[in-house]
């Protein structure tokens, strides 16, 4: 049995309590502003008395070994991160010139003493969203990493957890030296003034129906058809009423706008907030649905036991 923790359910409140600071220019990309690791080498070489002797003038200094080793070592430890940045939220129209900060973390949730492994900031172009981004993550070691991004509305290079649109990590991605990672970013609003509404009827007649009253059904909206471990861009939950199924639900705080999404839901049988693949009843829409600020989208959810899927 595989358990999947929807990150927004378990770690979202932790993440929002942490101030995140990232590189403010694309060129920074995780390197020191003071000049990087080669400064000490250059200083020692230029000041050393051996610069005038034959050792400096001979092939040792000009030898290809010095240049090739340095270049090859640096290149071998780099990885490229690229993709598309998407956002259709409340601040999209007035975000030109503001930075989208993209960060790669070695662990999640991050802590104040754990800086991103690398990161870069990308100004929103005049044409708006979507647009492409790419940057180099230097001195990477093979491991699993967690990308995170936010729109820096106030320009302070810090994540404001009360208003700034963000994209949080899903399952970790493996990055190793030499990789070119394709990773799309989909920012969503934390709050919005005119949210969409999602409503419908939930049905279920399976083996857990009799014991379901009082338990939670978690409902998420994904930006792509469901994949194992894929986090939602929106989530909420309802409690199964005493009368059981079917019953109606409605959420009027969906801050998603003018994009297609894929709702899904599951009955949390063991009430651990985690989706137990192969055990818990669920439903996932494979046809895209549109949510628009101020409008209602009807989403009926028919939960089915995994053995029937």
What mean pLDDT is predicted for residues 73-81?
77
> Across all residues in the chain, what is the average pLDDT?
81
- pLDDT score of 155 more than 50: yes
Summarize the confidence of residues 41-51 as an average pLDDT. Answer: 42
Tens digit of each residue's pLDDT (9 = 90 or more) over 166-210: 998 878 899 999 999 999 999 999 999 999 999 999 999 999 999
Percent of the chain with pLDDT over 90: 61
pLDDT band at 133 (very low <50, low <70, confident <90, very high): very high
Per-residue pLDDT tens digits for 217-250: 999 999 888 765 567 889 999 999 999 999 999 9
Q: How far apart are CA 234 and CA 236, in angstroms?
A: 7
Query: What pTM does this model have?
Result: 0.70
């Amino acid at each position: 049995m595989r358990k999947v923790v929807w990150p927004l359910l378990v770690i979202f409140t932790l993440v929002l309590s942490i101030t995140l600071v990232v590189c403010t220019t694309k060129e920074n990309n995780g390197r020191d502003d003071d000049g990087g690791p080669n400064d000490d080498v250059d200083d020692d070489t230029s000041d050393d008395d051996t610069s005038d002797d034959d050792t400096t003038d001979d092939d040792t200094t000009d030898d290809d070994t010095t240049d090739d080793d340095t270049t090859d070592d640096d290149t071998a430890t780099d990885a490229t991160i690229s993709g598309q940045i998407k956002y259709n939220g409340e601040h999209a129209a007035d975000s030109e010139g503001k930075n989208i900060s993209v960060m790669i973390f070695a662990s999640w949730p991050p802590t104040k003493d754990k800086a991103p492994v690398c990161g870069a900031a990308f100004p929103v172009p005049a044409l708006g969203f979507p647009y492409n981004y790419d940057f180099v993550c230097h001195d990477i070691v093979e491991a699993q990493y967690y990308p995170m991004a936010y729109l820096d509305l106030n320009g302070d290079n810090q994540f404001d957890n009360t208003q700034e649109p963000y994209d949080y990590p899903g399952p970790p991605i493996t990055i190793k030296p030499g990789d070119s990672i394709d990773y799309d970013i989909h920012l969503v609003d934390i709050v919005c003034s005119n949210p969409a509404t999602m409503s419908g009827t939930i049905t279920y007649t399976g083996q857990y129906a009799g014991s379901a009253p009082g338990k939670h059904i978690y409902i998420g909206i994904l930006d792509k058809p469901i994949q194992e471990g894929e986090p939602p861009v929106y989530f909420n939950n309802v409690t199964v009423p005493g009368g059981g199924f079917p019953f109606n639900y409605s959420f009027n705080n969906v801050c998603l706008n003018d994009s297609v999404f894929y709702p899904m839901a599951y009955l949390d049988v063991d009430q651990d907030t985690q989706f137990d693949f192969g055990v818990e009843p669920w439903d996932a829409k494979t046809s895209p649905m549109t949510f628009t600020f101020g409008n209602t989208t009807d989403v009926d959810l028919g939960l089915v036991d995994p053995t029937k899927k």
